[in-house]
Structure 1
């Protein structure tokens, strides 16, 4: 029986996409927390109500939630509208030939994997934030 939305199988791991999903938002949140620790204050009410660790967890939650929503919207756009060519450069003259949509979905993490990874880290940060207080 054919399925409405077939689940793609990963045939390779794309380290750049994995880095973009897993480590870059974490690096951004660490940089923000370092700024808070160095200056001792924040410009947002969010950081003023919690400790530096609480602010780190809140900002990490925000970063990963943004990544999850970007990947989820990319998956929806790809499935409904055919998506955008997955090249590495936005410059159309210097960009290499974009990979096909099928090849994009056969690499890990694809859009659904990216949304799931970022969503899981978001939930872990929310849980850790509730434990920290």
Structure 2
């Protein structure tokens, strides 16, 4: 099997329009936002507490498996070229980058994929709302 390139981009809808992608995952409405927790609000996906909170959210592991299956389906198609997955949440600091990295880790573990991850808005200030 030929190695397929998968580019994963996390982003925040409150900063700018979503990037162009073959698959865009909107995590804003169905998955708990760590922003509502004062102890997590100013942390990012670089912090274990944030990653643990996001990955413990009911349904998130099933969504990861579903998106990984979708990436595999795109890779099996007749067209060559990289596959882009965009993962978005409100501010781009918690859910989206955690999901993006978990997806990347999963695809690397499965094999057959060269994966890059970019966190477009992870370093931006917290959006106060």
Tell me the TM-score normalized by structure 2. 0.33
Q: Which structure has the larger Rg over C-alpha atoms?
A: 1
Tell me the TM-score normalized by structure 1. 0.32
Q: Hey, which of these two has a bigger chunk of helix by percent?
A: 1
Q: Which has the higher contact order (CA 8 A, sep 6+)?
A: 2
